[in-house]
Chain A
Amino acid sequence: GENVEQHPSTLSVQEGDSAVIKCTYSDSASNYFPWYKQELGKRPQLIIDIRSNVGEKKDQRIAVTLNKTAKHFSLHITETQPEDSAVYFCAATANQAGTALIFGKGTTLSVSS
């Protein structure tokens, strides 16, 4: 089955710096890669996703890149702000229908001002 590895487990940056979180997956059939953000005490929420026919997607300060050959994808946050502090989870599809997801173990991002 699908396995998703996420690094680093913790990341501390200064406000205004960039942050990068990387994930690798094992199943070459996976074709959908979302990223979720979970603030302390709250439920996870989707922030950006990418499908396998696209190499990069951007939404304001966040971007995701996908390398299907190497089976890895990354989240890039530019000009970080204190409100970006949260746990971030990457995920990949775990079944053919693309409904079930396998999540990485998460990255705790701390942005200090």
Chain B
Amino acid sequence: DVKVTQSSRYLVKRTGEKVFLECVQDMDHENMFWYRQDPGLGLRLIYFSYDVKMKEKGDIPEGYSVSREKKERFSLILESASTNQTSMYLCASTEGGRGEQYFGPGTRLTVT
């Protein structure tokens, strides 16, 4: 049974803070993804990674960076949090191309 976990369910940060969101998967999946989910906007891809130390920009990478030092762990970094980054952040992983993406439970981030 695939398990994708995220470091926090709820997080409150102040404007300008550096924020780390972590995601871990236990199925040796090659591909990992970060999305943000906002009402009426669906799931928007921020970054994805297809291998350790490899990353590609998604649709909305501005204001974010990522790190993948180990295969099972994919981190999303907000270098200087802003109020418009208040959102639900979802991590996902998949074994290969054209397969089911398994999502984590999400982190609801509030930036004040």
Contacts and interface: CB of A to CB of B under 8 A. Distances in A.
Size bracket, chain B contacts: 20 to 34
Interface stretch (B16-24, B35-43, B67-75, B79-87): B35-43
Size bracket, chain A contacts: 20 to 34
Interface in A67-101: 89, 93-95, 97-101
Contacts, number: 61
A32 B56 contact: no
B98 to A, nearest CB: 4
Nearest to A1: B59
Interface of A: 1, 6, 9, 31-32, 34, 43-46, 49, 51, 89, 93-95, 97-106
Given A32-B97, A105-B40, 5 more contacts: A43-B103, A103-B35, A103-B42, A103-B43, A103-B45
